[in-house]
Amino acid sequence: MDEQPRLMHSHTGVGMAGHPGLPQHLEGTGGADGDGRKQDIGDILQQIMTITDQSLDEAQARKHALNCHRMKPALFNVLCEIKEKTVLSIRGAQEEEPPDPQLMRLDNMLLAEGVSGPEKGGGSAAAAAAAAASGGVGADNSAEHSDYRAKLSQIRQIYHTELEKYEQACNEFTTHVMNLLREQSRTRPISPKEIERMVSIIHRKFSSIQMQLKQSTCEAVMILRSRFLDALMRKRRNFNKQATEILNEYFYSHLSNPYPSEEAKEELAKKCAITVAQVSNWFGNKRIRYKKNIGKFQEEANMYAARTAVNAANASSHGSQANSPSTPNSAGSAGSFNMSNSGDLFMSVQSLNGDSYQGAQVGANVQSQVDTLRHVISQTGGYSEGLTANQMYSPQGINANGGWPDAPTPSSVTSPTEGPGSVHSDTSN
């Protein structure tokens, strides 16, 4: 486009000065009235050059006059020849460009999010991912989901409105340029290919705007999505009943040392469909709150003690092992649920109820049961002050300082080599 004035200038020089390069049809116009014709051409060119300085009406009138001018065909031929020489330089630019990979990525993302393409209830994927990430407790997230979907729908609407505007503007501008070029083709040679090329240039320019729109939309969707997921993840949700039961069961059955190992935490996390961090949080909170208000947890402890006892009885009568995550530093195989407290295999429960229970080979679950029962018993007869000789249970749990002892784990408290009838070291207190 911007080379047009240059072409005009060069031609002006040629046409008016009778340059050797002057086309034959104009050279042939020499003779008696040659000067007059040259003058005419000069006038025409002058008019063309100044046409942009004029008002629209004036320019229209001038344009019409030019179109009707007798020298117009000659000028047109000159321009055709100049065009022939220069058109070679623009051929290379007409090659088809491959689709922009970034644009393709944006398109794919918008399609995946349901922003472009057919509406598909966008947000379902994000919602599902969030629900999964929050440990399967996302069943009641419908409010967030609908909010997310509503906002996504807004984005979609804005995107389509803007896209429509863009397409409309692009079409309008293209039509305008094409009309302009067609109009100009009356005074200068413009091939359909050139018009096509011009249209593709316009489309490319508009494509960059479209890309910006898509980019902004993608950003908006990503921000919305991350906020939605963040909110979902951050929001406190009570663990489901089953998860709490599992955690409590573990806590009360390992009351002597309620510090699950990493493996145990992982196992609990898996069973409860929560994260390991949540398990850690839960145990942290539980230990503190239990210690602060033991009395309050009495009933709960009793309940789990009874339950654990029943489970243990069932398990031992069936010769099976309880499926309970291992405690830290357990003598059993790491990460294994069974027999983690093998050191308590031969344990006398005599100290618990006064009845002799010599030689009972009980597993880890029974140790847990014992822990809990001891606790319950100790509760009935006092707790922390009860570290006296009369106390049947000196809790491996909370010590005189109000905290669980540092090291003693069930497996370390009782020697695995102790025979039947041996007494748990703690109970000897």
Partner DNA sequence: TGCCATGATTACTA
Partner DNA sequence: TAGTAATCATGGCA
Q: Which is nearer to DNA, 69 or 237 (CB)?
A: 237
SS3 string, 126-143, reads HHHHHHHHCCCCHHHCHH
| b (16+ CB within 10 A) / e for 124-133 | eebbeebbee
Give min distance, CB of 135 to DNA, in A: 8
Contacts by residues 201-207 (CB-CB < 8 Å, ≥ 24 positions apart): 202/170, 202/173, 202/174, 202/177, 203/170, 203/174, 206/166, 206/169, 206/170, 206/173, 207/100, 207/103
Nearer to DNA, 37 or 291 (CB): 291
Identify the sign of the CA torsion 169, 171, 174, 179. negative
Q: Choose between 210 and 261: whose C-beta lies nearer to DNA.
A: 261
Give CA–CA dist 12/17, Å, rounded: 8
Residue 299 C-beta: closest distance to DNA, Å: 11
Shortest distance (Å) from residue 239 CB to DNA: 4
Q: Which is nearer to DNA, 200 or 302 (CB)?
A: 302
**Of 182 and 296, which CB lies nearer to DNA in the complex structure?**
296
In the structure encoding, which two tokens stand for residue 165, read together? 């505007």
CB closer to DNA out of 85 and 234? 234
CA distance 369 to 315: 12
- CB of residue 261 vs DNA: minimum separation in angstroms? 8
Going by C-alpha positions, the residue among 366, 340, 338 that lies closest to residue 352 is 366
Tokens 């309970």 -> residue: 324
Residues making contact with DNA (CB under 7 A): 234-239, 244, 259, 277-278, 280-285, 287-289, 291, 296, 328, 402-404
Q: In whole angstroms, give the CA distance from residue 325 to residue 52.
A: 88
Between 120 and 289, CB nearer to DNA: 289
Residue 302: in which H helix or E strand, if any? Answer: helix 298-317
Q: Which is nearer to DNA, 70 or 236 (CB)?
A: 236
Within its chain, how far is the Cα of 97 from the centroid? 32
How long is the chain?
429
CB 412 within 8 A of CB 405: no
CB of 382 to DNA, least distance (A): 20
Cα 363 from Cα 316, distance rounded (Å): 8
Of 195 and 273, the one with the shorter C-beta distance to DNA is 273
Helix count and strand count (H, E) for the chain: 17, 0
State the minimum distance, in angstroms, from the CB of residue 260 to DNA.
Answer: 7
Tokens of 253: 């059955």
